Amino acid sequence: GMPGMPGLGGAGGQNDMQAAIQQFLMQQQQASGGAGGVGGGAAAAAAANQMAVQQMRQMQSTSLVGVVGQANMILEALDEKARANLFQFLPEGQQDAKGLEAAIHSPQLQQGAARLTRVLNSAQYGNLVTSFGLQNTGDMGSKAFIDAINRKYAPKGEKKEEGKKEEAKPMEEEKKEEDKKMETE
């Protein structure tokens, strides 16, 4: 193993990167006859470690914990019928608006979202996605997971083109448009 490279476990691509870096460093050390290459190798390792840490941060920037944190906004955007549909997932005796509110603010939901986010940013992503019957595009993370759900379950007329950026439109605007569509149906 290579000490001084914390935080790389979990993601398969990170392990491959670490192995490639180790191989590169050994080649550098052999080519320079030892001591001279160690300084350059350490600099290369530090740069590669910095790059890997940055990649991990970018992947984790889309966290389901953030989505759960915005639960009040999301609930307010839902109409009564959509909210009532969520009651069925609540425990017996708590299947009402108060129960929904309590469930959304529960530490268990926060912990579950954090745990799911970690899995979505790990080498286990592919297994999880296929276990849900979703298409694995090779991307990973919360956004890729949500995109996979949208691809599978979005009504046929609403499927978004792959090239378009979805983030351009705030969520509230998207909800208002969906509500208008529902009213006309």
pLDDT by residue (tens digit) across 135-182?
999 888 888 998 999 998 887 765 555 444 444 444 444 444 544 545
Q: What average pLDDT does range 14-32 have in this prediction? A: 58
Between 30 and 80, name the one with better pLDDT: 80
d(CA 37, CA 69): 48
125 pLDDT tier (thresholds 50, 70, 90): very high
d(CA 77, CA 71): 10
pLDDT for 104: 86
Between 89 and 2, name the one with better pLDDT: 89
* C-alpha triplet 37, 50, 57: angle, nearest 5°: 160
Q: pTM of the full predicted structure? A: 0.46
Is pLDDT above 90 for 75?
Answer: no
Between 156 and 78, name the one with better pLDDT: 78
Between 73 and 129, name the one with better pLDDT: 129
131 pLDDT tier (thresholds 50, 70, 90): very high
* C-alpha triplet 61, 90, 126: angle, nearest 5°: 40
184 pLDDT tier (thresholds 50, 70, 90): very low
d(CA 143, CA 71): 17
